[in-house]
Amino acid sequence: RTVYLNGEYMPEGEAKVSIFDRGFLMADGVYEVTSVLDGKLIDFEGHAVRLERSLKELDMASPISMDDLLEVHRELVRLNDINEGMIYLQITRGAPDDRDFVFPDPAKVPSTIVLFTQNKPGLADNPVVKKGIKVISIPDERWGRRDIKTVQLLYPSMGKMMAKAAGADDAWLVEDGKVTEGTSNNAYIVKGGKIITRELSNDILHGITRKAVLRFAKEAQMVVEERSFSIEEAQGADEAFITSASTFVMPVVEIDGAKLGDGTPGPVAARLREIYLEESR
């Protein structure tokens, strides 16, 4: 792969970052994942706007203009000949001379920016969509600013491992009796034709796919209710699904061992996936 590090394109094996980088020592960094379909970026603008917000919330300077960032995304797609896949972008607060909790002076320590592509042929035609995924519920033990897309992904990784150990595919995180979101996706249920998903706050990531899917749903005259729901309510729902840049719309067919309906993917999730793929590519 050809990757991008601090202004230069290079083979992945040559891309090296300091051991003092605050991303490495303190998870002091933000990221974005943008999908690529037919060699084209999906909703770059949405990801760029969220990235700027994440940086601002953490008082981190942007090392690149959004126009240049778009250029880097496109160039990596071209250099790596990506038809379907993802582009990963990470910006950290850079590498000071030593480990220190205090933020370094941005005039002295430039941030570190890394981008690489992930080639995923068949991303849109993912066969898992036909059978759906199983989720388990686990307590949401992440920090309180989940609206910022930081690289603190240890708990979400642990959640995926817990799901795997339980014979499931992913985990839904629960706080105060209500589902916040999935480990790396937003969570939805469908009841009586109504699409229900948690309202935006600092408790969840403001998904770019979520925003597009809800807009398309409303345009298709579907009813959307933004509110939180419990695992019990979800288990009694007609269907459920998740959204993210890497899964688009993915049906959920089982929650904590309880099958939803007949245990097969539902029509609303299928329709939304179809509309999303049609409208955004």
Residue 149 annotated among the catalytic residues of the structure: yes
Least distance to ligand PDD, CB of residue 88, Å: 8
Report the interhelical angle of 66-79 vs 44-57 (nearest 10°).
130
Q: How far apart are CA 187 and CA 161, in angstroms?
A: 19
Residue 233 tokens read as 């309510």
CB closer to ligand PDD out of 262 and 278:
278
Least distance to ligand PDD, CB of residue 223, Å: 21
CB closer to ligand PDD out of 207 and 265:
207
CB closer to ligand PDD out of 115 and 208:
208
Residues that bind ligand PDD (CB under 6 A): 33, 181, 184-186, 205, 207-210, 243-246
CB-based contact 92:29 (threshold 8 Å): yes
**Dihedral angle of Cα 135, 139, 142, 146, to the nearest 10 degrees:** 60
The residue to which tokens 């719309």 are assigned:
249
| DSSP structure string for 194-232 | EEEEPPPSTTS---HHHHHHHHHHHHTT--EEE----HH
Q: How far apart are CA 278 and CA 172, in angstroms?
A: 27
Least distance to ligand PDD, CB of residue 153, Å: 7
CB closer to ligand PDD out of 46 and 104:
46
CB closer to ligand PDD out of 86 and 109:
86
Contacts of 110 (CB under 8 A, 6+ apart): 6, 63, 94
Least distance to ligand PDD, CB of residue 17, Å: 20
Q: In what order do the strands lie in the sheet with 85-92?
A: 8-11, 2-5, 112-119, 85-92, 29-37, 40-41
Catalytic residue among 16, 130, 134, 149: 149
Least distance to ligand PDD, CB of residue 246, Å: 5
Q: Find the DSSP H helices in 128-264.
A: 128-131, 154-165, 208-219, 231-235
Residue 145 tokens read as 């600013």
| DSSP structure string for 58-78 | TT---SS-HHHHHHHHHHHHH
Least distance to ligand PDD, CB of residue 180, Å: 9
CB closer to ligand PDD out of 30 and 95:
30
Catalytic residues: 149
